Amino acid sequence: MKHNVKAPSVGESISEVSILKWTKKEGQAVKTGDLILEIESDKATVEIVAEATGRLSILQPEGARVPVGEVIGMIDDAAQGTAEAAAPAAKASAVASVKAPAMSAPAESMGPAARKALAESGLSASQVSGTGKDGRITKGDVFAAATAPAVSSVSAAHTAGVSAPLSRSASLPTREGDRRVPMSNLRARIAERLVQAQHTAAILTTFNEVDMSAIMAVRSQHKDSFKAKHGVGLSFMSFFTRASVEALRLIPEVNAAVDGRDIVYHDYYDIGIAVGTDRGLVVPVVRNAGTMGFVEIEKRIGELAVKARDGKLSIPDMSGGTFTISNGGTYGSLLSTPILNPPQSGILGMHKIQERPVAVNGKVEIRPMMYLALSYDHRLIDGKGAVTFLVHLKDFLENPEKLKLDF
């Protein structure tokens, strides 16, 4: 009996996923519970395990984007697989119905998605260099090859003084040295949400600055004992999370959201922490941060950071959130305007700590200063509320004893 391996549903409103990596090879023997592939959605990476024992047939290659529910592989419990990759005869027959032009490369050198792209491009397999595993031709390889001829054609036509059409897959002019690769689901979703934020919210940004002297002194005094006692470091992020929660208590509209003609106020504080990864920006959420002390916040942020780095964040890890903190200072940013994370109405931008001359009690002193930026939805939050939020935040950060330093 053959058991279908389907692209899983990984959350509401997600209709398409990408095959990130097959951890088992074509024709390989798998057992129930074995990890066989990793799926990437627009929010997280999900591991898929075998639900039967038998021989694996792969129907969709790594990098393919497939609708949720589509069959991407099969496990034949009546066939005995090999410990290594077997001859992919089953796969060849599975894709035989896909029409493609005559090609000199073997049929098993590409999956259905690449085969379809090849047919649409008008190229032959011999014109495409495979960069996938074992020289497999991927959909991205076809796209890259399809744009390359357009470059030379345009150049030749330009030399001859006539115009020539670009490849059908190209929407932008290309030249030698350009590379075209499919956008990942995660990057596509990030782009979609950023445009959505610009189109649906009236975004403004207000600024302030904070003297980090007090926090730096507290951290310097307690960081070693904190690490020894609790097993985690004492970072600036826990101070900013605690200070944000206290400021949100005072200005509740910054912790609210617009829903049609209604305003939804949240009486809890789920703080999103924006994290840059190799795959793009993700925003895991520290839930119920209003009930947490410094130790709990540091431990939770540490756990989420490790999962983000390893690509193991789950859908629940990144769902929801009532307010977001983004630390561009990690990369050296001195000042920026963060963009909202819909449907949230506020996002705080942290920046680089830089020593600057400031006036203190009528004297000029050198202090470690940080610019703060609050981007907010002006449909809900007036300028007074936004400015007052930052004033409260500044006060808590410059007077950290108000944050109940429960070390």
**Alpha-carbon torsion angle 118, 122, 126, 132, nearest 10:** -20
CA distances from 246 to 182, 294, 394 (A): 43, 13, 11
Write the DSSP symbol of residue 7.
P
Alpha-carbon distance of 381 to 205, in angstroms, equals 11
HSE, side-chain direction, 13 A CA sphere, residue 154: 14
Residue found under tokens 């596509």: 188
Distance from the Cα of residue 179 to its chain's centroid: 22
| CB-CB contact of 243 with 252 (8 Å) | no
| CB-CB contact of 186 with 17 (8 Å) | no
- Which is the catalytic residue, given 382, 392, 395, 406? 382
Alpha-carbon distance of 59 to 37, in angstroms, equals 12
> Pairing between strand 2-6 and 285-286?
unpaired
Alpha-carbon distance of 30 to 34, in angstroms, equals 6
The 3-state DSSP class for residue 122 equals coil
Alpha-carbon distance of 29 to 77, in angstroms, equals 10
CA-closest candidate to residue 29, choices 81, 85, 75: 81
| CB-CB contact of 18 with 64 (8 Å) | yes
Alpha-carbon distance of 322 to 269, in angstroms, equals 6
| Catalytic-residue membership of 382 | yes
Alpha-carbon distance of 315 to 233, in angstroms, equals 26
Distance from the Cα of residue 323 to its chain's centroid: 18
CA distances from 38 to 11, 34, 48 (A): 16, 12, 6
- Which is the catalytic residue, given 178, 222, 378, 395? 378
HSE, side-chain direction, 13 A CA sphere, residue 346: 31
Give catalytic residues, as residue numbers.
378, 382
